[in-house]
Amino acid sequence: MTTEPTPAITVVAAIIRGEDGRICISKRPDNKHQGGRWEFPGGKVEQGEALDEALARELEEELGMTGATSSPFMTIAHQYDDLHVTLHFRDVCAWQGEPQGREGQRVQWFLPDALSDLRFPAANQPVVNAIQLPEQLVVAPEDITLHELLAGIDRLNGEQQGLYLRQWSDHAEVAAVVTQCQQRGVKVWLRAVDTQSVATAKALGVFALHFPGRTLARLDERPAFDGIISAAVHDQVARDKASNLGLDMALVSPVLPTPTHPGKPALGWPQAALLMKGAPLACYALGGVTPGDLVSARDHGAVGVAGIRAFWP
């Protein structure tokens, strides 16, 4: 007996951001696949059609938006029971016309944080998480004082930059850093150093918890933490484990050679892209990159860039 291959399609979808930071989404008609759920507007890519052209066509057909231009944001491969879908999510940079449902669908603008309370198709969930993330993750240098760290936080832009606290031991100092970040609107990643890290992260109210490679290897299930959970990914084994555990994010490294690890082989952009594209994880490119590499990083499947010296204000 032969098994029929699962149908496969390529879809392009839009991240439409208003000037006030809200995101425009639509609700799928009840008679469609995944009907009744919210979605990012878009549709099937026709054979031979470029992704930006397909999205511009879909937005005009669905929402009456004309002249839409877009750039890569995130690519996800998802297997439903009856369908394999490759979704290319793109940031819509400019358009003309006010989005409105031309096919009778409901269209509404939401703040990014509110998207988590809505029902989306399963393949969209990683993007819902990714939209809430800053485009840069600033890794706090290890050789600075608490005073220097707090002063640096004051210079961060909370809309574009998050802070990863990689080294910490003094609970009071960590609490001071988290408080300072919350006052400045800066999201905080805390490194999971032992089994008590989850409880510490919960008590401090941090945005995200990051698991280095060795800590990730010891995990058997997703930790009981309601915030974003990220992991260090250096190879396919780590990527698959982070994906299978249902984690939200990955720091993929080292993308390029770094002065802090001379002689250590770098992945290079092509190999990094194999780890980042298609993963149900919001991936950040780390290692040898700068804030100016964001466009290249997104072209290769990352949603953001991360680093220490090139990012520290």
Among 66, 91, 123, identify where a domain stops. Answer: 123
Residue 113 sits in the same domain as residue 226: no
Q: Note the pLDDT of residue 4.
A: 64
Q: Note the pLDDT of residue 263.
A: 76
**Average pLDDT of span 264-269:** 93
**3 domain residue, yes or no:** no
Residue 141 sits in the same domain as residue 257: yes
Residue 90 sits in the same domain as residue 144: no
- The pLDDT confidence band at residue 264, using thresholds 50, 70 and 90, is confident
Summary mean pLDDT of the chain: 93
pLDDT, tens only, 95-153: 999 999 998 899 999 999 999 999 998 888 899 999 999 999 999 998 899 999 999 99
CA distance 156 to 168: 20
Q: Is the pLDDT of residue 37 over 70?
A: yes
Residue 83 sits in the same domain as residue 155: no
The CATH number given to whatever domain includes residue 183 is 3.20.20.70
Q: What percent of the chain has pLDDT over 70?
A: 98
Residue 66 sits in the same domain as residue 170: no
Among 56, 91, 123, identify where a domain stops. Answer: 123
Residue 168 sits in the same domain as residue 208: yes
pTM of the model: 0.91
Cα–Cα nearest to 93, from 55, 48, 130: 55
Q: Is the pLDDT of residue 3 over 80?
A: no
Residue 191 sits in the same domain as residue 227: yes
Beta bridge partners of 23: 17, 110
- The pLDDT confidence band at residue 1, using thresholds 50, 70 and 90, is very low
Q: Are 96 and 79 in contact (CB under 8 A)?
A: no
Residue 281 sits in the same domain as residue 239: yes
pLDDT, tens only, 74-84: 999 988 878 88
Among 63, 97, 123, identify where a domain stops. Answer: 123
pLDDT, tens only, 275-302: 999 999 999 999 999 999 999 999 999 9
pLDDT, tens only, 199-228: 999 999 999 999 999 999 999 999 999 999
SS (H, E, C) the chain: CCCCCCCEEEEEEEEEECCCCCEEEEECCCCCCCCCCEECCEEECCCCCCHHHHHHHHHHHHHCCEEEEEEEEEEEEEECCCCEEEEEEEEEEEEECCCCCCCCCCEEEECHHHHHHCCCCHHHHHHHHHHCCCCEEEECCCCCCHHHHHHHHHCCCCCCEEEEECCCCCHHHHHHHHHHHHHHCCCEEEECCCCCHHHHHHHHCCCEEEECHHHHHCCCCCCCCCCEEEEEECCHHHHHHHHHCCCCEEEECCCCCCCCCCCCCCCHHHHHHHHHCECCCEEEEECCCCHHHHHHHHHCCCCEEEECCCCCC
**298 domain residue, yes or no:** yes
**290 domain residue, yes or no:** yes
User: How many domains are there within the chain?
Assistant: 2
Residue 36 sits in the same domain as residue 177: no
Q: Residue 95's domain spans which residues?
A: 8-123
Q: Is the pLDDT of residue 311 over 60?
A: yes
Cα–Cα nearest to 312, from 136, 140, 183: 140
pLDDT, tens only, 175-202: 999 999 999 999 999 999 877 889 999 9
Q: Note the pLDDT of residue 297.
A: 97
- The pLDDT confidence band at residue 71, using thresholds 50, 70 and 90, is very high
**58 domain residue, yes or no:** yes
The CATH number given to whatever domain includes residue 95 is 3.90.79.10
Residue 223 sits in the same domain as residue 94: no
